[in-house]
Amino acid sequence: MIKIQEISTKKELKQFVKFPFSLYKANKYWVPPIISEEVESFDKDKNPVFDHADARFFIALKDGKIVGRVAAIVNKLEIDVQKVPRMRFGWIDFIDDLDVSKALLDKILEIGKKENLEFIEGPLGFSNLDKVGVLTEGFDSLSTMITWYNYPYYIEHYKKHGLITGQKFIETKFFLEDVDINKYRRYASVIRERYKLRAINFNSTKEVLPYVEEMFKLFNEAYADLSSFVPVTDKQIAYLKKKFIGFINPEYIKFIVDEKGRLITFSITMPSFATALQKANGKLFPTGFMHLLKAKKHSKSSVFFLIGILPEYQKKGVTAIVFDEFFKTYKEKGVHEMIITPELEENKDIQLIWKNFKPNVYKRRCTMRKDIILD
């Protein structure tokens, strides 16, 4: 018999976070989170996303042992402002037992019904900046720190429980030796002159901080038309600024401004921390921090995290300037591989950015959804 138990204490949430460590213990493609960081992100007193979202956390027990987990998420901005009556679920993991996955999903359906919502969908996080989707292809490729990994049986469980495909995502990668860097350099020069633009590069986190609020405001404007978009609030911006900006190598952040100094494009990439996180095994101390610091300075792979372009500058070639700046940095650092994190298949504009880079789709993922039967 499967028992679903709601949890809330810090000790219980730590068990929630640690469950995948046993589930994927022998898997060389899963990338673990830092346990303390993940637990803190669930703290309703610290994470401002809970100003407009609610989350409940559940574990599945079989013979007294944890065999699954799931977070039930209600994003009030999404429901009240965007009028999307969706019950989100995320951080879902389970052993290969249909009774376990059914019990977890039934709990999500039950809560969604009580909330008078029309469908459940996941895996999704609290907002757009969280991890997304169940992996459907690419199980034999190393994950990243900003994507969920799962076994192939997950998608079969969802289908057997009556869930259907929701949003589709692709993940791609390319190698710098396949890119005509000189061509981009020439094109970037033309675009700089045509629109009177200039790049801003950074050598320290202190230099980045004054631009963070403006960067996220641009992000909100750039992505407003996407079906899944939920704006980032001012309190979230402050939280993310404190939590993540110091973690990113400032040399991997590129801003483009116009002749008046207005930010019109930003792009954030990160050195790949995947292998370092595997070595850290969920802990910063005593040695995990050193593995991460080494990767921050010396990783030969870069993970493309986020780009934002003001609507009025979209499709005008300004990304050529961004990549020209990145290529200079990557050449200096010896980076040879660029990994593109999940992008919506429907977002054709973002995919056009990579068309000349010979990108290879190496992973696919999607959300799964199911209608809630209301009385």
What CATH number did the domain enclosing 275 receive? 3.40.630.30
Amino acid at 196: K
Q: For residue 374, is it within any domain?
A: no
* Alpha carbons 343 and 37: distance in angstroms, whole number: 25
127 and 63 within one domain:
yes
Which residues have C-beta within 8 Å of that of residue 86, sequence separation ≥ 6? 75, 78, 79, 117, 118, 119, 120, 121
Q: What is residue 227's predicted lDDT score, i.e. its pLDDT?
A: 62
Three-point CA angle 354, 200, 231, nearest 5°? 65
Position 243 pLDDT exceeds 80: no
357 and 209 within one domain:
yes
Average pLDDT of 18-29?
97
**Number of structural domains, the chain?**
2
Which of 136, 152, 170 lies at the terminal end of a domain, its last residue? 170
Pairing of strands 53-62, 86-94: unpaired
The pLDDT tens digits for 315-338 are: 899 999 999 999 999 999 999 999
185 and 255 within one domain:
yes
178 and 166 within one domain:
no
Nearest residue to 134 via CA among 363, 370, 372, 371: 363
Residue 27 CA to its chain's centroid (Å): 21
Which of 122, 138, 170 lies at the terminal end of a domain, its last residue? 170
Q: For residue 41, is it within any domain?
A: yes
Position 340 pLDDT exceeds 90: yes
Nearest residue to 147 via CA among 116, 173, 171, 126: 171
149 and 107 within one domain:
yes
Q: What is residue 60's predicted lDDT score, i.e. its pLDDT?
A: 98
146 and 224 within one domain:
no
Identify the band that residue 231 occupies on the pLDDT scale cut at 50, 70 and 90: confident
186 and 162 within one domain:
no
146 and 193 within one domain:
no
Q: For residue 375, is it within any domain?
A: no
183 and 127 within one domain:
no
Average pLDDT of 82-101?
96
- Domain around 236: 174-366
Q: What is residue 228's predicted lDDT score, i.e. its pLDDT?
A: 60
Q: Which of 63-72, 85-94, 337-346 has the lowest mean pLDDT?
A: 337-346
164 and 179 within one domain:
no
Q: For residue 373, is it within any domain?
A: no
Identify the band that residue 213 occupies on the pLDDT scale cut at 50, 70 and 90: confident
Q: What is residue 315's predicted lDDT score, i.e. its pLDDT?
A: 86
Which of 170, 198, 219 lies at the terminal end of a domain, its last residue? 170
Position 139 pLDDT exceeds 70: yes
Position 52 pLDDT exceeds 80: yes
198 and 135 within one domain:
no
359 and 283 within one domain:
yes
Average pLDDT of 30-48?
95
CA distances from 202 to 253, 297, 328 (A): 7, 14, 13
Phi, psi of 41 (to 5 degrees): -65, -20
The pLDDT tens digits for 274-307 are: 999 999 999 999 999 999 999 988 999 999 988 8
Q: Which residue has the tokens 């699954």?
A: 68
Q: For residue 204, is it within any domain?
A: yes
